[in-house]
Amino acid sequence: MNTALLLIDVQQSFKHRPYWSEADVPAFLARCNALVAGAAAAGVPVVQVFHTDAGPASEPFSPASGLIRPLDGLAPYDPAVTIHKHRHSALAGTELSIWLRERGIRRLIVAGIRTEQCCETTTRHASDEGFEVDYVTEATLTFDMRTPAGTVLTAAQIQERTATVLAGRFATLCTVEEALARAA
């Protein structure tokens, strides 16, 4: 089965959001870099996905901001294709699904920013479109969030919740090494 790695929204824009925290970034980047390097070594295409929104240069997701570029610390790599999305799912309103199907790709490895937002949404969408998805939680990043009731969910709790709702229904949860082995 042909596989592609979707590296979702690992971009400098996030460093300019009020919720940004460096706490989990070193571990996240280490796992992303291992995943990208392993994919490149195995001949697995890496799809670079960036989130963009219209707006002035002061908006970090606007192309005018100059922040639609890889997150500092992400090792340089040659993407097979770069997708610019405007919605949470990398498959919604982009040419990604067509690009994948034209290449016979049936399995996707998902990693990136934010765990519960664009990574989870893309995973669910891909599953609904018939792709097999390997979700690499350790290569996703999110941030603490306040619930409507006012309590704080930690980034670790959000990752656990996302893993729980995806596992066995929308994706196979994998470590970096497991995802790469399954792609071989």
User: Domain holding 34: CATH number?
Assistant: 3.40.50.850
Q: Check residue 144 and give left, alpha or beta (phi > 0: left; psi -120 to 50: alpha).
A: beta
For the chain, the domain total comes to 1
Range of the domain at 176: 2-183
What is the per-residue burial (b if ≥16 Cβ within 10 Å, else e) of 121-140?
bbbbbbbeeebebbbbbbbb
Specify the pLDDT at position 84: 98
Amino acid present at 49: V
Q: Quick check: 1 pLDDT over 60?
A: no
**What value does the mean pLDDT of the chain take?**
97
* Interval 22-57: pLDDT, tens: 999 999 999 999 999 999 999 999 999 999 999 999
d(CA 159, CA 120) in angstroms, rounded, equals 10
Give the pLDDT confidence of 78-89 residue by residue, as tens digits: 999 999 999 999
Which residues are registered as beta bridge partners of 172?
134
| Residue 122: both structure tokens together | 């893309």
